[in-house]
Amino acid sequence: MIRELPIFPLPIVLFPGAQQPLHIFEPRYRRLLQDCLAGDRRFGIACVAPDATPAADPAPSPGDVGCVALIRSTQALPDGRSNILTVGERRFVLRRWIASGHPYRVAEIDEFDDDPTDPAEVMSLAADVRAGFDRLARALGVLTAREEEEISLPSDPQQLSFRVAALLDLDLAAKRALQTVRSTSARLRQLAVVLGPVAADAEDRAVVRERARGNGQGGRRPEIERAT
């Protein structure tokens, strides 16, 4: 579906179904928030690499993939800033920038979903990803010396793939690659490849942790980014 959408470039990758809290402080994005709340409460989040250069204003390029964000709740602060909670909806391809009188960017986007896939294959891959994620979560519970809060994973394979992709602590390039994939099977297969060694490494260090009974961490631990 092609439509026009306000765009908020950020150094994050939003997946469908994932919650994303945001702190709105720049005047142009305060205006974006006002306009969205007066409309359908939606804007686009497109990932851009962070740039520490003074006055830098990085922007996505035509052809880049982003995700529609629906504003679920807002908290206005006394000085005009706001805290908001959004949730990802459909992904989109940024087709072109549109000239407008708004202080923020507006683009023509084309929303898309995953292509059809083989049900038997996708269910098998989903089971592998779920098992790998459960292994990782259990090991992290040992490494953090506390019981990990149980994370509810969707039963639907496509939603499962988005949920796990959002939770894993991956770099921006890896998350962007997962976001662009249009096959649930391919995304699950990539996640299974990532989860295997990450879970195994966490389990090895969890064994050391248990033997040492808290005397040492044994290196950097993988983390799960919790959606809030």
CATH of the domain at 71: 2.30.130.40
Q: Do 10 and 106 sit in the same domain of this protein?
A: yes
Q: Do 197 and 154 sit in the same domain of this protein?
A: yes
**H/E stretch holding 24:** strand 19-24
**Domain with 158 in it: what CATH number?**
1.20.58.1480
pLDDT at 110: 98
Q: What does residue 119 show for φ and ψ, rounded to 5 degrees? A: -60, -45
The three-point CA angle 158-164-168 to 5° equals 150
pLDDT at 224: 43
Confidence of residue 213 (pLDDT cuts 50, 70, 90): low
- The pTM score is 0.87
pLDDT for 201-211, tens place per residue?
Answer: 989 888 887 78
> What are 147-150's contacts with CB under 8 Å, separation 24+?
none
- 107 beta partners: 5, 97
Q: Which of 196, 176, 144 is nearest to 66 (CA)?
A: 176
Q: Average pLDDT in the 211-218 region?
A: 58
Q: Do 91 and 27 sit in the same domain of this protein?
A: yes
Q: Do 145 and 127 sit in the same domain of this protein?
A: yes
Q: Do 129 and 184 sit in the same domain of this protein?
A: yes
Q: Cα(42)–Cα(60) distance, rounded to whole angstroms?
A: 18
Confidence of residue 215 (pLDDT cuts 50, 70, 90): low
pLDDT for 159-199, tens place per residue?
Answer: 999 999 999 999 999 999 999 999 999 999 999 999 999 99
Q: Do 97 and 158 sit in the same domain of this protein?
A: no
Our CA dihedral for 155, 161, 164, 167, rounded to 10 degrees, sits at: -120
Has residue 225 been placed in a domain?
no
- Number of folded domains in the chain? 2
pLDDT for 107-140, tens place per residue?
Answer: 999 999 999 999 999 999 999 999 999 999 888 8
pLDDT at 147: 58
- Are 110 and 92 spatial neighbours (Cβ–Cβ below 8 Å)? yes
